[in-house]
Amino acid sequence: MEFRHLGASGLKVSAISYGNWLTHGSQVEADQAKLCVRAALDVGITTFDTADTYANTAAESILGEALAGERRESLEIFTKVYFPTGPKGPNDTGLSRKHISESINASLLRLRTDHVDLYQAHRYDHATPLEETMEAFADVVRQGKALYIGVSEWTPAQLRAGHALARELKFPLVSNQPQYNMLWRIIEDEVVTTSRELGIGQIVFSPIAQGVLTGKYQVGQAPPPGSRATDTSGGAEFVQRLLKDETLSRVARLAPIAESEGLTMAQLAIAWVLANDNVASAITGASRPDQVTANAAAAGHPLSPETLAAIDEALGDTVQRDADLVGRASPKERLT
């Protein structure tokens, strides 16, 4: 396993991290989820990413149970706050001082730990003053409940404002967690440039584009049984927009490129993400232990300029690069 610094901080994380969005507590049964966590540990993954909202808190509980008994100092455990949890009352969401304070305490109980290594703002909260949010995060760090603070899907302007407040309040804002893959590159121009300047690293999700970049979805064929596109508990809605014939036919052109590199298509997609030096870790999920093992093999596999150019040519204009789309994932009003 390869390890990288998270932004300009001294914290190192595994280049492949294990995430349980859409799996633990929903798509995958608890026993199978624990086997996937064990497989992650066996291949040298030390970084685990979750969120309180995943399966309405169940994902955190399953991860906490799966990691019980492991040496805590050898793990980096990440979680997030913002989206509705519990009964979803008016204060069960957002980045207010009240919700952050209550959420970190509940997350620590579910994760069976006295601190998380990284606590992340799952989105930007337009309904709460940024000063209030950052002051609450400063308190979480000073109380020893989190070592570092990160954000997810923030715009360059939001990153700058948040970073300035973090410096003023003397706590480390070190990461951003955006969607990033061969087909979705909207962070490359402005977010990555700003992050490099500020010492912020990317922990990216969806490196294989919800499974589309594995090549398992093919033009004119029904989605494979058990795939995310058939998941009626919520997974299908996230992948549907990518199942266009033009996208799938372009993705199919990646197969010979992956073969020439001695990689599967999924491994090629993960190696491509890690070729960006501002990416500290690529979050991969799994429904089976063998998927975890296969994903981990992408770490430490550099891609040549010729291979990167061939990927660009294969995908053509199916790649989304519009920097104006950054930040669109943050609701303008709080969700309840």
CB 50 within 8 A of CB 81: no
pTM for the full predicted model? 0.91
Nearest CA-CA partner of 314 in 230, 250, 262? 250
Residue 142 belongs to domain with CATH number: 3.20.20.100
Question: pLDDT, tens digit, for every residue of 86-98?
Answer: 888 899 999 999 9
pLDDT score at 51: 96
Give the residue with greater pLDDT, 227 vs 331. 331
In this structure, are residues 214 and 287 in contact, taking their beta carbons and an 8 Å threshold?
A: no
45: containing domain: 3-325
For 298-309, what is the mean pLDDT?
A: 95
| Segment holding 47, helix H or strand E | strand 47-49
Say if residue 227's pLDDT is above 60: no
Residue 126 is assigned to a structural domain of this protein: yes
pLDDT tens-digit series, residues 106-147? 999 999 999 999 999 999 999 999 999 999 999 999 999 999
Within a domain: residue 332? no
Question: 51 in helix, strand or coil?
Answer: coil
Three state DSSP letters for 210-266:
HHHHHCCCCCCCCCCCCCHHHCCCCHHHHHHHHCCHHHHHHHHCCHHHHHHHCCCHH
For 276, how many CA atoms within 13 A lie in the half-sphere containing its CB? Answer: 27
State the average pLDDT over residues 247-261.
Answer: 95
Question: At 284, which helix (H) or strand (E)?
Answer: strand 279-284
In a domain, 262, yes or no: yes
Asked if residue 331 is part of any domain, the answer here is no
Coil vs helix vs strand at 204? strand
**Percentage above 90 pLDDT, the chain:** 79
Number of structural domains, the chain?
1
- What is the sign, positive or negative, of the torsion defined by CA atoms of 86, 88, 94, 99? negative
> Is residue 336 a part of any domain in this protein?
no
Percent of the chain with pLDDT over 70: 91
Q: What is the mean pLDDT of the chain?
A: 91
Q: Is residue 275 part of a domain?
A: yes
Q: Does the pLDDT of residue 233 top 80, yes or no?
A: no
pLDDT for the residue numbered 52? 95
82: annotated active-site residue = no
Per the residue annotation, which of 18, 54, 124, 148 is the catalytic one? 54
pLDDT at 101: 98
- 37-48: average pLDDT: 96
Residue 131 lies in a domain: yes
Assess whether pLDDT exceeds 90 at residue 240: no
- Torsion on CA atoms 253, 290, 227, 331, rounded to nearest 10: -90
Predicted confidence band of residue 245 (pLDDT cuts 50, 70, 90)? confident
- Tell me if 173 is assigned to some domain: yes
